[in-house]
Amino acid sequence: MTSRTKKLKMDQEEKLKEEQNKKETLDDSETSGEEQEEDKKRKPVVKKAPSKKAPAKRAPAKKAAATKKNNKEEEDDEEIDEKDNEEIDEKDNEEKEPATKATSSSVSIATDNFEEPKVEENSQMKVISWNVAGFKSVMGKGFNEYVEKEKPDVLCLQETKINPSDINKNSMPKGYEYHFIAADKKGHHGTGVLTKKKPLSITFGIGIAKHDNEGRVITLEYDQFYIVNTYIPNAGTKGLLRLDYRIKEWDVDFQAYLEKLNKDKPIIWCGDLNVAHTEIDLKNPKTNKRSAGFTIEERTSFSKFLEKGYVDSYRHFNPGKEGSYTFWSYMGGARSKNVGWRLDYFVVSKRLMDSVKTSPFHRTSVLGSDHCPIGIVIDLN
């Protein structure tokens, strides 16, 4: 057999294999088509916020210096994982955890049965928000036990630090669908939601790439309102290097996103907002005037947003209550001394406040993170 004949024969065999593979693929798609259609009907619409391209900018003359500064800003973006005050030292970096880690076998993160507040199953919705300071970590400390006891309809998580593909679906709480978004920078930021009451749609991000690459926003749409789960950027614990970004870029763009949603339906904006709004929202206000989360710039920006028709729902019910915190440093026994900050909120459109019958609550007994879960019950009628 000549080399030319051999080549023709090999080409024919390869062509037959390709045709067979195509036929098998078509057969598989025909078989599963009806099942896929049924799945689409059952699941909410999941989408990314439409992207808005920023105008092109001239590169700076000193590119190397600019790159060095940007890297420094990333290093100093510590997400208010720690606060410096009279009794507590700053922690060294975002990944630091307590010297003695709680585990499900030693210290359960869920020590109560959470019978209050009562929730009417078909006419009310319980929403929980929690900065878990690492989803993998909290899963090993009794997370599923907490969810089973709390029984939230919607659970919003911040600082998840996990890629969605790394989540083992078999280890997740039963009866919940889950959706996570990760930051481009591995092991940083990120948000997630678990839903028992299925939303109409789920949107990742706000449509602006420079913000969305940190995985900070997930929006759930329901018939009556939007739930916006957010992990707000920290201004930087080492020199406030991201304060300008936080105030002049993030706050401007994100608040515009909320305003757009609010024109369609009321919003419930929840999460780690990385701001202690007033002096009673942290233990040591005098020593933290220039600490990230308590600068006059951040507090003023938050105040101006509330003035547009939104309510800090916890302060609405507890206007002068002191010592109500949601974050405590891992250092210096801060939690046992209640030396903390209130950084986690439910901000509600003013026109929806009639549906909030009782005060939002803080689950201060729940361990496993430097933040505690917070919750709210919303009437659906």
Q: How far apart are CA 89 and CA 175, in angstroms?
A: 41
Helix (H) or strand (E) holding 48: strand 45-48
Q: Does any domain span residue 359?
A: yes
> Is 188 a residue of the active site?
no
Q: How far apart are CA 94 and CA 77, in angstroms?
A: 8
Quick one: pLDDT at residue 87? 35
209, two tokens:
């790439």
Q: Which residue, chain included where needed, has tokens 């798609």?
A: 29
The catalytic position among 179, 189, 277, 371 is 371
Q: Does any domain span residue 83?
A: no
The catalytic position among 231, 310, 330, 345 is 231
The DSSP string of 337-380 is HT-EE--EEEEEEGGGGGG--S--EE-TT--SSSB--EEEEEE-
Q: How far apart are CA 151 and CA 60, in angstroms?
A: 52
Ramachandran region, residue 66 (left: φ > 0; alpha: ψ -120 to 50; beta: rest): alpha
Backbone angles phi, psi at 374, to 5 degrees: -125, 155
For residue 267, give the nearest of 214, 317, 314, 311 by alpha carbon: 311
> Is 371 a residue of the active site?
yes
66, two tokens:
């600019």
Ligand-binding annotation for 131, yes or no, is yes
Ligand-binding annotation for 159, yes or no, is yes
Ligand-binding annotation for 14, yes or no, is no
Q: Does any domain span residue 115?
A: no
Q: What is the pTM of this model?
A: 0.78
Q: Does any domain span residue 159?
A: yes
The catalytic position among 77, 81, 272, 344 is 272
Q: Does any domain span residue 86?
A: no
Backbone angles phi, psi at 204, to 5 degrees: -100, 130
Ligand-binding annotation for 272, yes or no, is yes
Q: How far apart are CA 379 and CA 161, in angstroms?
A: 32
CATH number at residue 174: 3.60.10.10
> Is 344 a residue of the active site?
no
Q: Does any domain span residue 96?
A: no
| Number of residues written out for the chain | 381
Q: Does any domain span residue 80?
A: no
Ligand-binding annotation for 81, yes or no, is no
Domain housing 151: 121-375
pLDDT, one tens digit for every residue, the chain (381 residues): 555 555 555 666 666 556 555 544 444 444 455 545 555 555 677 777 776 544 443 333 343 333 444 444 444 444 444 444 333 333 333 333 333 333 333 346 766 788 889 999 889 999 999 999 999 999 999 999 999 999 999 999 999 999 999 999 999 999 999 999 999 999 999 999 999 999 999 999 999 999 999 999 999 999 999 999 999 999 997 889 999 999 999 999 999 999 999 999 999 999 999 999 999 999 999 999 999 999 999 999 999 999 999 999 999 999 999 999 999 999 999 999 999 999 999 999 999 999 999 999 999 999 999 999 999 999 998
Count up the domains in the chain and report the number.
1
Q: How many CB atoms lie within 10 A of CB 200?
A: 11
Q: Does any domain span residue 330?
A: yes
Quick one: pLDDT at residue 278? 98
